[in-house]
Structure 1
Amino acid sequence: MKVFINPGHMPGVDSGAVNPNSGLKECDVALAVGKLVEYYLKNAGCEVMRLQSDNLNGETPVYPNVCKTANDWGADIFVSLHCNAFDGYARGVETLVFKFGSEAERLAACVHKQLVDTEQSVDPYILDRGLKERPNLSVLRNTDMPAILIEMGFIDNDHDVVLLEDKQDTLAKAIARGVTDYANS
């Protein structure tokens, strides 16, 4: 299976959300977890390409185009990694797909289950925010393969940020298990 990993945002260009207390940046969490997911998937026999770029679909031509690269490479699945932010109180994990009833929803269900089960084993108060349709997101709309976007937790929440900061390896293993569950189903 060819898995394309897209750590969200881009250091030095667009950090994404930032924790107001620690300064932890979404782009850094996404990249760290993305590298670990890549490692675990390669060890499981997957072919993996990872790209973090501020150019999702041609809007920033100076950087590599994420959707075009995934499509041209012929990825079987696409996984984009992110951290949510809202008001400092919202928390939990959610997984986004272009459309319910699609193959992407099946992929999302496998990954989301592993991620929620893992996060709740570390912190029983982590909320399962479920699967959500988001047809307006470029990486879900402009990819040719089943694509998901994972919001691993709320980086601006004091509880979720502990997972995002201290449990990156645990999160990566859960995501990789979800991908392999999907591949084996």
Structure 2
Amino acid sequence: MSKINTIAIDIGHNVSFDGGAVGLRTEDSLNLEVGRQLIDKLRATGLKVIECLPQSANSLVDSLSKRVQAANDGHADFFVSIHHNYFEGAHGTEILCITGGRAEEVTKIILPEITNLGFTNRGVKDRRELYVLKNTNMSAILIECAFCDSPIDMNNYSPEKMAEAIFRGICKAFEINGPVNNTSSDQTNYYTVVKGDTLYSIAKRYGTTVQRLVEVNDICDANVIRVGERMVVR
């Protein structure tokens, strides 16, 4: 498959008039965590990355059109939209695209990387009616990473591992040279604080300590962290 120079990453929902699902965890927060970490990883390879999340929107159509416009105006070579599913009793990962072309080829490389984390493979699905898939000038996919209302999927869910799996798949699909298998114990990861987080919960999720988080982020008061704050976790 031909290499790319520019990729568009769309972080689903996260604006007014475009709210995500609410389950055991909110789709908005999961999309944001996975999307931002994926963007960081891709930029670290030298690839140009266009973040398509708009700062505001006055309607659902406005939100979707701004995402597409960002990708089209930036002349992206490929488009990836990050989402999480919601449906009672369902679990697993699926990727949506317009089948029969480059997009489907890429999904078949990315999907096994995600399911190797232990998620059920729900397959590649043709959803050519979706706005962001049919209106982008480049091939596009929408990844439904997992079900945010599923105890099976959300038990020990790791946004970092999900972002790494998607990153690994993209690198394989487009022959991108990058730290695909960086297993260093001192690897630097990033986390965006969401409502309800504490340093203790973040430390537990990433296998570190509150004291370590305080030290590497120069935190003055361990009891005070702000929603939206971007932290180093290692």
Distance 2:43 2:171 in 1: 11
Residue 11 (structure 2) aligned to one of 7, 10, 18: 7
Tell me the alpha carbon deviations over residues 46-77 of structure 1, each in whole angstroms, 9 at most, x when there is no partner: 1111122476x98227x971111101100011
Q: How does 1:1-185 map to 2 (within 5 A)?
A: 1-19=5-23, 22=24, 24-53=25-54, 59-60=61-62, 65-87=66-88, 89-98=89-98, 100-117=99-116, 119-120=117-118, 126-163=119-156, 166-184=157-175
Q: Are 1:11 and 1:28, in contact at CA under 8 Å, matched by a contact in 2?
A: no
Give the distance between the partners of 1:140 and 1:64, measured in 2 at CA: 11
**What is the CA distance between 1:11 and its match in structure 2?**
4.3
Task: Measure how far apart 1:116 and its partner are.
Answer: 1.3
Amino acid at match of 2:140: A
TM-score, length-scaled by structure 2: 0.67
Q: What is the alpha-carbon root mean square deviation over aligned residues? A: 2.2
Cα distance in 1 for residues equivalent to 2:62 and 2:79: 20
Aligned length: 170
| Unaligned runs of at least 5 residues, structure 2 | 177-234
User: Unpaired segments of 5 or more residues in structure 1?
Assistant: 121-125
Q: TM-score, normalised by structure 1?
A: 0.84
Q: State the one-letter code of the partner of 1:170.
A: K
Listed one character per residue, the Cα deviations across residues 53-112 of structure 1 (whole Å, up to 9, x for unaligned) are 476x98227x9711111011000110000011111x1000000102x2111111111111
Normalized per residue, the structure richer in helix is 1
The range that moved more, 64-73 or 126-135, is 64-73
- Report the Cα distance in structure 1 between the residues aligned to 2:122 and 2:60, rounded to whole angstroms: 31
| 8 A contact 2:68–2:136 mirrored in 1 | yes
Question: Higher relative contact order by CA 8 Å / sep ≥ 6: 1 or 2?
Answer: 1
- SS at structure 2 position matched to 1:59: helix
2:222 maps to which residue? none
